[in-house]
Structure 1
């Protein structure tokens, strides 16, 4: 891998941290808002709905612009835009201003996945490995959101939980503009697609991807949004302390993120179906256990479910990379993430409504049903030994 490719991948990985961190500041910061807006937990959480809708809807135009205009320039817009929008959110004085700021964060955040993932697959040497590592960085962003937002909220107030990460993102964007030129993808990226697949195999694979994208999007977002509040309610040792809740949630996310390194390594050695099926089988049991246990016993099922949920993202991204061409890849990822984030936007009212009706027991029982759908989809995924044919050697 060339030095230029390594630099691109480093910034793409940094962007994954920033994207997930900024989108998940509110679920932890809300624990320290108190009566600042005169709203309940569910009402404050609902203010993020516009951001999650924009996060999905914006991926379509972002992917198109990435393929047709410039992936590098779109990534620069992402860094600078999400940073400015997050900092402005910290200045909100009314619920509508808070909702508008989070929606703007979602608009700029929508750029990352279709454009950043396409840049990553274009520059990657070992595809599964790089997608897995990138996934770990994204999930470290999720973990950092709980820890950073919890710490800043407890020590400096909830506004700084938005302002400080926003300023950091702008600084990273300026470095990206200075260090990454607007250059075409390496020639080897075009040769990585599996050619001449039967139409039935492609349709079957993308049908499975559609199911796992919808179900996985709901489960992923509902779990990451609700976990801080779940620990706040059921684990008395950290209840009432945003930093304590944030630290524990961050540890769960960080440990769960190791699944993406493991899955990425396995995908370079085994077919998608052989890795997909056993991983999918872990989700529903973990979610069902989380619905019932309390205290420190909650940590084990939380870790199990996050391990499976995070690993599923690597599976889905590798499906797209292996079934699309380089020239269309940003648009393919745009469709994949549009569907995923549109489905995940449902998680916010789903968690709020189910929590109000029956608490987290009901929330996680419903999520387990989505986990079962992912297992059934994994059973239907095609088994293709030719997926393991070696890719062209990367240029040095």
Structure 2
């Protein structure tokens, strides 16, 4: 691994870890906002969901910007925006301040995944090792970010914690802006072709190609996969957004501790998710990912259906149910990513993952508003029942894709093969 590879890996691992630190620390803050600011669940769910929506919806245009301005600049700008947004989160007053800061965070965070993955693919010669480190950094942010947030809240008020969390991203943004990396060092090393010139198409030709590729994707089996990953995103966001607040009274059934109890169970649940991601990655190497994904989603439906009754048996049962939820919740991610690859042609693979992030994080953001509304109107029982139904729909759709494939309607059926 040369110096350029190491510099890029340092840049993308820092960015990936920070993105998920912020993403999954927000539910920790929500436990405080609900208790101290008197915001209703439905209102808070809608506000948080709007920020999460931009996190997903911005991925597609961000991918286009990466091609135009380069990855390093976009990563630096995204880090600066995320850090500034969390500083503003601690400084701006009231619900409108929260909403503005979370919208700014979502827009800035949406830049990272297209830019970071593009930089690895074009700049790092040892791509496999870079992707492994990149995934590990994301897992550190997923598990460590909420835990650090919960621990800081023991010593500081939430506004101060938000400002403190924003500072590392501002420092990282400055380092990214000053970094010197060759973003095209690996072009040609992984089978890419080209003459080294920019050869960028005219704007109208670019838009025409984007529209043609989009029609090609959605005329194929990818349309079903798109709906499938959107359902997965709804379950993911609907389950996690209010989970720390929901867990605290369940833990306190026979272990009377303070309001932070649910935060630590939530952080532990996300830590178990690291093992789920690893197992899901190994399973995604096997043929027939649709059936495996259908089974995993079916298990997620079962977990949602029995979570509250099992939690009523005591803290030990709750911890086991939470561990199972965390494992399965992250198990499905590499499985649907592999399924996307199977249902898309190589020349539209980048665009297909742009739409995948749009579905998972953009459409999936509606899960935050859904969970807030259901909690305010009826309470957690209906919420978990609806989430079980969403997972069952996803399992049925994945099984349907598997059946169609087994009947000879392959992944590329309906694909536009015209020149």
Shared topology, TM-score over 0.5? yes
- 1:301 paired with 2:321, answer yes
- 1:169 paired with 2:189, answer no
Question: How many residues are treated as equivalent by the alignment?
Answer: 378
Q: Which runs of 5+ in 2 are unaligned?
A: 194-214, 412-419
Q: Which runs of 5+ in 1 are unaligned?
A: 193-198, 388-396
- Report if the CA contact (8 A) 1:150-1:242 is conserved: no
Show the 5 A alignment for 1:50-129: 50-121=50-121, 123=124
SS of match in other structure, 1:24: helix
- Aligned partners of 1:13 and 1:324: how far apart in 2? 28
> What are the Cα deviations for residues 318-369 of structure 1, in whole angstroms up to 9, with x where unaligned?
344563547x555433222112222222112211111123321211111111
Q: Could you tell me how far 1:121 is from its partner in structure 2? A: 5.0
SS of match in other structure, 1:293: helix
2:266 to 236, 249, 274: 249
- Aligned partners of 1:151 and 1:108: how far apart in 2? 26
- Report if the CA contact (8 A) 2:59-2:113 is conserved: yes
Residues 67 and 316 of structure 1: is their aligned pair in 2 closer, same or farther, counting only changes over 3 Å?
A: farther
Root mean square deviation, CA, Å: 3.3
- Aligned partners of 1:90 and 1:238: how far apart in 2? 32
- Report if the CA contact (8 A) 1:256-1:307 is conserved: yes
1:368 to 379, 388, 392: 388
Q: Could you tell me how far 1:60 is from its partner in structure 2? A: 2.1
Partner of 2:208: none
- Aligned partners of 1:355 and 1:208: how far apart in 2? 30
Residues 302 and 35 of structure 1: is their aligned pair in 2 closer, same or farther, counting only changes over 3 Å?
A: closer
- Aligned partners of 2:257 and 2:117: how far apart in 1? 38
Partner of 1:26: 26
Partner of 2:360: 340
SS of match in other structure, 1:347: helix
Residues 5 and 126 of structure 1: is their aligned pair in 2 closer, same or farther, counting only changes over 3 Å?
A: closer
Q: Could you tell me how far 1:255 is from its partner in structure 2? A: 0.9
Partner of 2:43: 43
2:337 to 286, 297, 317: 317
Query: Which entry has the higher C-alpha Rg, 1 or 2?
Result: 2
> What are the Cα deviations for residues 236-264 of structure 1, in whole angstroms up to 9, with x where unaligned?
06776354322221111111221112222
SS of match in other structure, 2:181: coil
Residues 243 and 207 of structure 1: is their aligned pair in 2 closer, same or farther, counting only changes over 3 Å?
A: same
- Aligned partners of 2:77 and 2:397: how far apart in 1? 36
Q: Could you tell me how far 1:53 is from its partner in structure 2? A: 2.2
Q: Could you tell me how far 1:65 is from its partner in structure 2? A: 0.8
> What are the Cα deviations for residues 78-122 of structure 1, in whole angstroms up to 9, with x where unaligned?
111111111111112121111101110011011122332344455
- Report if the CA contact (8 A) 1:113-1:333 is conserved: no
Partner of 1:217: 233
- Aligned partners of 2:46 and 2:217: how far apart in 1? 40
2:279 to 240, 252, 262: 262
- Aligned partners of 1:238 and 1:147: how far apart in 2? 20
SS of match in other structure, 1:186: coil
Q: Could you tell me how far 1:288 is from its partner in structure 2? A: 1.4
- Aligned partners of 2:260 and 2:12: how far apart in 1? 28
- Report if the CA contact (8 A) 1:146-1:228 is conserved: no
- 1:283 paired with 2:303, answer no
Q: Normalized against structure 2, the TM-score is what?
A: 0.79
Q: Could you tell me how far 1:231 is from its partner in structure 2? A: 0.7
- 1:187 paired with 2:188, answer yes
Partner of 2:210: none
Q: Normalized against structure 1, the TM-score is what?
A: 0.83
Q: Could you tell me how far 1:139 is from its partner in structure 2? A: 4.2
Q: Could you tell me how far 1:235 is from its partner in structure 2? A: 1.4
Residues 309 and 133 of structure 1: is their aligned pair in 2 closer, same or farther, counting only changes over 3 Å?
A: farther
